[in-house]
Amino acid sequence: MASNKENSGASFTLTDNRNGKSYELPVISGSTGPDVIDIRKLYAETGCFTYDPGFTSTGSCQSDITFIDGDEGVLLHRGYAIDKLAEHSDFMEVCYLLLYGELPTAEQKEKFVSSITYHTMLHEQINYFFRGFRRDSHPMAVMVGVVGALSAFYHDSLDINDPQARMIASYRMIAKMPTIATSAYKYSLGQPFIYPRNDLTFSENFLHMMFATPCEPYKVNPVLARAMDRILILHADHEQNASTSTVRLAGSSGANPFACIAAGIASLWGPAHGGANEAVLNMLEEIGDKKNIPEFIKKAKDKDDPFRLMGFGHRVYKNYDPRATVMQKTCHEVLDELGIKNEPLLDLAMELEKIALEDDYFVQKKLYPNVDFYSGIIFRAMGIPTTMFTVLFAVARTVGWVAQWNEMIEDPMQKIGRPRQLYTGETQRRYIPLHKRGSKSQG
Ligand code: ACO
């Protein structure tokens, strides 16, 4: 880990029914980004906890992996800008970078790609495991179940204190995730599972396992494979988001890596997180026509209406999400390649973006399109069904989860994650035996 330096302190006074005593807490600087106030001794010294629902002002760990400047719309992985990685790298290179901290040499890359490739096949018994699911299961439900179940198949990589076992588990998950994802899809169609092919790249393999059948040859379109690769890069990591924090929290108890990643997938599923790309497409279909946009913008602004513009807004970005810029460009490339001249949903999305970006409500709250705003349109054009959108996000984010999980295990500061609370319930009261309770008492 890069060293951090302790700066001057932050002082504060506890008033309100207290003794007016002043306290000083250390302030720590990272390599860039906001300083943090070190509150580790706060409770011991003051008897108070902090209160921060949603962790809007709380740093839960120190990390060397990903940096976001939400005001400037900057996203760096190990110091490299996301747009440069999307333009010049491929997903395997970004995986290596996230896991090991440096871009690989040609030799390192070849070895890494080969190791990932030779881990793509699933234990044959896992294929039988799929058959326990209902055919109409959501593929994310299948992902949570099957990835969790990997811990029952790969006992030899469960020792989290062995760095080599950790790396084997990490490689296994990165490599097998596309196979699991596409098997979940094939299962829902009632088609045979397609096994991975070692002569294809990671992204080509994904498209092959998704769309090939044993009945006829399937040729992967290189433009679509490149677009898929770029989408994987854009989703690879995003520092301490909900699913990554879930992985870290689950892992902080010493739980095995497969179980931790299954927990991350569960968290990603929600519409406020990875489920948003599916929700964007449903929303665009509901809007249906450009003439209905003002009505939906009005609904999004109405406090009494739960409707939100999906694909808009972000906890960290208060500027254009840099991933959305690349995604919009990729969207045009894919539609051009597929000869789709007029995609009504893309026209609708661009018009919606234009109107929202000029609207005072969105301007003042700094709500910009996020990575999910255009990804659904690309997936749809590629023939990927809506229920698979979040699954693809999980395939891409697996490397981020395992990189963050490995970093956490190696961090000497690591402790079990155990937040505290502001208790607002009943204080201790006298127990009343059942026969003495009145009819109004509630269970
Ligand atoms: N449409 C309308 N209003 C919005 C939207 C939106 N998409 N997003 C935020 N707001 C409003 C909120 O109502 C709130 O208004 P208020 O201050 O008057 O109460 C204000 O903007 C701040 O929003 P919060 O929900 O407090 O911000 P938070 O950081 O908690 O939420 C989130 C971020 C969940 C992403 C939110 O913007 C949202 O729900 N967006 C739509 C879902 C989405 O696209 N999710 C994908 C996120 S990216 C990812 O996970 C890959």
Q: How far is the CA of 375 from the centre of ligand 1 (A)?
A: 18
Q: Are 202 and 178 in contact (CB under 8 A)?
A: yes
pLDDT at 159: 93
Give the model's confidence band at 346: pLDDT under 50 very low, under 70 low, under 90 confident, else very high.
confident
Q: How far is the CA of 20 from the centre of ligand 1 (A)?
A: 38
pLDDT at 1: 52
Q: How far is the CA of 63 from the centre of ligand 1 (A)?
A: 25
pLDDT at 341: 81
Residue 443 has pLDDT above 60, yes or no: no
**C-alpha closest to that of 236 among 358, 397, 407:** 397
Q: Calculate the alpha carbon distances from 301 to 254, 355, 367, 370 in Å.
A: 44, 13, 12, 18
- pLDDT one-digit tens code per residue, 259-318: 999 999 999 999 888 888 888 999 999 999 999 999 999 999 999 999 999 999 998 899
Q: Give the number of the atom of ligand 1 that is nearest the alpha carbon of residue 315.
A: 29
Residue identified by tokens 């003495």 is 436
pLDDT at 272: 84
pLDDT at 17: 62
pLDDT at 342: 80
Active site residue 372: yes
The residue nearest atom 50 of ligand 1, judged by CA position, is 273
Active site residue 235: no
Task: Quote the DSSP letter at residue 22.
Answer: E
Q: How far is the CA of 265 from the centre of ligand 1 (A)?
A: 21
Residue identified by tokens 């109004």 is 440
Cβ < 6 Å from ligand 1: which residues? 54, 272-274, 276, 300, 308-315, 365, 367, 370-372
Cα 386 to Cα 98: distance, rounded to the nearest angstrom: 28
The region of weakest confidence among 47-56, 130-139, 153-162, 332-341 is: 332-341
Q: How far is the CA of 315 from the centre of ligand 1 (A)?
A: 7
Q: What is the mean pLDDT of residues 15-26?
A: 81
* % of the chain surpassing 90 pLDDT: 80
pLDDT at 5: 67
Task: Quote the DSSP letter at residue 114.
Answer: H
Vertex 200: Cα angle to 261 and 341 (nearest 5): 90
Average pLDDT of every residue of the chain: 93
**C-alpha closest to that of 331 among 379, 394, 393:** 379
Q: Give the number of the atom of ligand 1 that is nearest the alpha carbon of residue 242.
A: 50
Q: How far is the CA of 313 from the centre of ligand 1 (A)?
A: 5
The residue nearest atom 24 of ligand 1, judged by CA position, is 315
- pLDDT one-digit tens code per residue, 198-234: 999 999 999 999 999 999 999 999 999 999 999 999 9
Question: pTM value?
Answer: 0.90
The residue nearest atom 20 of ligand 1, judged by CA position, is 365
Q: Calculate the alpha carbon distances from 317 to 24, 98, 255, 320, 379 in Å.
A: 31, 21, 32, 7, 24
Q: Are 372 and 321 in contact (CB under 8 A)?
A: no
Cα 15 to Cα 18: distance, rounded to the nearest angstrom: 5
Q: What is the mean pLDDT of residues 128-140?
A: 94
Q: Backbone phi, then psi, for 29, in 5-degree steps?
A: -105, 140
Q: In the structure encoding, which two tokens stand for residue 399, read together?
A: 């490397």
Q: How many CB atoms lie within 10 A of CB 434?
A: 6
Cα 195 to Cα 176: distance, rounded to the nearest angstrom: 11
Q: Give the number of the atom of ligand 1 that is nearest the alpha carbon of residue 273.
A: 50
Ligand 1 site-directed mutation target among 68, 365, 368, 401, most atoms within 8 Å of CB: 365
Ligand 1 site-directed mutation target among 367, 372, 374, most atoms within 8 Å of CB: 367
Residue 102 has pLDDT above 90, yes or no: yes
- pLDDT one-digit tens code per residue, 360-404: 999 999 999 888 888 888 998 899 998 999 999 999 999 999 999
Residue 441 has pLDDT above 80, yes or no: no
Of the listed 90, 229, 314, 321, which one is catalytic?
Answer: 314
Q: What is the mean pLDDT of residues 173-180?
A: 98
Cα 378 to Cα 51: distance, rounded to the nearest angstrom: 41
